[in-house]
Amino acid sequence: MTEKAGSKAFEDVPKAVSRRNFIKGVITSGVAVSSASYLFRASSLLQGQQSTAGVGERLITLNVNGQQRRVDVMRQETLAWTLRYKLGLTGTKLGCDRAECGSCTVLIDDIPYYSCSVLTHTVRGRKVVTIEGLAAADGTLHPVQQGVIDEQGFQCAFCMPGFIMTTVGYLKTNSNPTRQELAQGISGNLCRCQDYDKILTALMRGAENMRRSNLG
Amino acid sequence: MAVIRDVMPAFELFQPSSVADAQKLLEQHGPDAWVLAGGLDSFDWLKDRIRKPKAVVDLSGIEELRSVRTTGDGIEIGAMTTLTEVVNHPIIKQKYGLLAQAAELVASPQIRNQGTLGGNVSQDTRCWYYRGGWPCYRAGGNICYADTPEGRNREHAILHADRCVAVNPSDSAPALIALDARFVLRTPKGERVVDAEDYFIGPEIDITRLHILQPGDLLTAIRIPSTWAGAQFYFEKIRDRNVWDFPLMNVASAMVTSGDSIERIRIAVNGAAARPLRLKAVEDAVRGKPRNTATGEMAGKLAVQGAVPLQFNAYKIPLMRNLVKRAISGVEEATWAS
Ligand SMILES: Cc1cc2nc3c(=O)[nH]c(=O)nc-3n(C[C@H](O)[C@H](O)[C@H](O)COP(=O)(O)OP(=O)(O)OC[C@H]3O[C@@H](n4cnc5c(N)ncnc54)[C@H](O)[C@@H]3O)c2cc1C
Ligand code: FES
Ligand code: FES
């Protein structure tokens, strides 16, 4: 760690920085910590304890499910990792960690992304929504979630959060899709139990629920 | 097969907000730096610990790299424009639909939301020996594992192989070559503009890279001239699954006809060699000819001249012949021949 490291909290560095500041401030080194120790640090952080030097510059604020969450994030950490292991949002699943299955899909500014393949530090200032963020405050399920329950769309449901997040994102661009269009829209999600037909029926029901709830 | 091994090894992360700042960082860190666009190629290398850059320079905060502008003669697409943005852009759709078609066939919706056009043309090969970290020619070693009697080479090259038999995996590249695009580079010596086909290189020029970028260089934009705006376009991609899979082969053509004869044409294929191939000989041979099955067949045969199959990829020769034929004479007239 150089003397520059602690000079500026990472989240205070605006995106457009002067050259001097960006050399001084944004140059931050990925702190070498073992996975065991950083997990320990993360959990103590969640309990509100102060942590050791180096954390300041990695401590960032993320907008997740409408809340501002302070979290200690390594430079090389993926969003899926932060969500699951730092923020306790384990509804986001890690299937492949390689952008090849879709189970980690979350919305970033309303667009579906594979969170296993996004660096957490690149979503500062953006709006992240996970499966935990869909239901209303009073517990009423999101219309797409309700559609999935109504149709019993999934089997083991490991892939379900990813499918639902992709669908919610897709419906923002096309609220009244044909079955074929929605199939295309969710084609970046795999199910290993593989009843895609049933999944699609459930998500179509979700889309219909959504149109209805928007009317009502 | 990918293995999840907790997180990537540590690196420094830089998030410049201008091309000039990015260049300074690249200069400062030299070969230890890694340019990060959408990350969908990059993260594999980092997660597998095959590449261990000390400094990752994330281009996502550079606004000037992310836009589509109309210019005096055509359009200019910033390198960080996502594939989804390319697919949905009204002018690209309307005038340069070949590129929109190609981009729409890349990978999956989520990958297109994140993957950039600059990254798509700059991505590395998918040869699994190389990506698996085997010390092959391309990785600086002395052997090509794919080109051995037991090598798995169904996806590999049939043309212009030189020690290494890997192919370029990009879907957008042949479309950009057919549209006669120019790639705009920012090098330590200044701006450099090259023809799309000259951006890509084969193993005979540099066996370790698929393109001309040197450490410190950035691809900033891709310019498409209006020369082929609204021409007749053909793009076809052959892959195993309809989502995620890289092209076994693809073909892109832009054609202008007068009456029933081919007035001008540009055509390129990818998945056949280490670089996307512009088929200049085919273009010359079909110019002035009627656009029909006979011309298509002649073009297909010409296209595969000199092709050398490996143990498991001989199918690529008739595949390429037929794709070229279809790109020229149209699908209705085409029939499959082996
Ligand atoms: C599961 C999967 C399936 C895929 N299927 C397909 C497919 O079918 N067809 C297809 O064409 N692609 C496919 N891809 C590739 C994907 O589209 C590319 O990985 C992606 O386009 C690369 O773009 P990126 O923005 O993610 O770049 P990155 O991964 O960030 O970058 C790719 C490479 O280019 C360099 N680079 C990127 N931008 C610049 C720049 N502006 N200047 C200098 N260097 C730069 C990087 O340093 C890196 O070496 C697939 C990828 C995955 C993970
Ligand atoms: S875990 Fe991200 S796509 Fe599979
Ligand atoms: S329901 Fe089991 S993986 Fe999809």
The tens digit of pLDDT for each residue in B11-29 reads 999 999 999 999 999 999 9
Range from A55-59, A91-95, A181-185, B328-332 carrying the lowest mean pLDDT? A55-59
**ipTM of model:** 0.95
What pLDDT, on the 0 to 100 scale, is given for residue A57?
58
- Please answer whether residues B120 and B140 qualify as being in contact, where contact means their C-beta atoms are separated by less than 8 angstroms: no
**Rounded mean pLDDT, A118-127:** 96
- pTM for this one? 0.90
- Mean pLDDT, chain A, integer: 80
Q: Provide CB contacts within 8 A for B234, sequence distance 6+.
A: B98, B251, B252, B253, B255, B326, B327, B328, B330
How many other C-beta atoms can be found within 10 angstroms of the C-beta atom of residue A32?
11
What pLDDT, on the 0 to 100 scale, is given for residue B2?
55
The answer to whether the CB atoms of B13 and A185 lie below 8 A apart is no
From chain B, pick out residues whose CB is under 8 angstroms from the CB of A184: 109
Rounded to 5 degrees, φ, ψ at A118 are: -130, 130
**In degrees, to the nearest 5, what angle opens at C-alpha A209 toward C-alphas A104 and A94?**
10
How many other C-beta atoms can be found within 10 angstroms of the C-beta atom of residue B163?
14
What pLDDT, on the 0 to 100 scale, is given for residue A216?
56
| Residue whose entry in the numeric block shows the structure tokens 């056009």 | B117
What pLDDT, on the 0 to 100 scale, is given for residue B335?
53
* Pocket residue to mutate for ligand 1, from B8, B14, B43, B120, most atoms within 8 A of Cβ: B120
The class (CATH top level) of A3-133 is alpha beta
* One-character DSSP codes across B292-328: SHHHHHHHHHHHTTT----TT-TTHHHHHHHHHHHHH
The tens digit of pLDDT for each residue in A1-56 reads 333 333 333 333 344 433 333 333 333 333 333 333 333 333 333 333 332 222 23
Span between the terminal Cα atoms of chain B, in Å: 33
What pLDDT, on the 0 to 100 scale, is given for residue B5?
64
User: Which is more confidently placed, B216 or A53?
Assistant: B216
Over 70: is that where the pLDDT of B106 sits?
A: yes
The tens digit of pLDDT for each residue in B69-81 reads 999 999 999 999 9
How many other C-beta atoms can be found within 10 angstroms of the C-beta atom of residue B9?
16
CATH architecture of the domain A143-215 equals Orthogonal Bundle (1.10)
Span between the terminal Cα atoms of chain A, in Å: 57
What pLDDT, on the 0 to 100 scale, is given for residue A214?
82
**Rounded mean pLDDT, A74-87:** 97
Can you point out the beta strands (E) in chain B? Answer: 12-14, 33-36, 55-58, 68-71, 74-78, 182-187, 190-195, 218-224, 232-238, 249-258, 261-270, 277-278
What pLDDT, on the 0 to 100 scale, is given for residue A4?
39
Domain segments of chain A as ranges: 3-133, 143-215
| Residue whose entry in the numeric block shows the structure tokens 């693809």 | B250
**Rounded mean pLDDT, B32-38:** 98
Q: What percent of chain A has pLDDT over 70?
A: 73
What is the whole-number distance in angstroms between the Cα of residue B254 and the centre of ligand 3?
Answer: 43
Nearest CA to B185 among B325, B3, B322, B35?
Answer: B35
Instruction: Find the closest chain A residue to B84 by CA distance.
Output: A111
Whether the CB of A154 sits within 6 Å of ligand 3: yes
Residue ranges of domains in chain B, CATH in brackets: 233-329 (3.30.390.50)
Instruction: Find the closest chain B residue to A190 by CA distance.
Output: B243
Over 80: is that where the pLDDT of B196 sits?
A: yes
Mutation pick from B110, B112, B114 vs chain A, by most beta carbons of A within 10 Å, is B110
The tens digit of pLDDT for each residue in B128-174 reads 999 999 999 999 999 999 999 999 999 999 999 999 999 999 999 99
**Rounded mean pLDDT, A93-110:** 97
Rounded to whole angstroms, the Cα distance separating A9 from A28 reads 10
Nearest CA to A72 among A105, A39, A97, A29?
Answer: A39
How many other C-beta atoms can be found within 10 angstroms of the C-beta atom of residue A174?
13
- Mean pLDDT, chain B, integer: 96
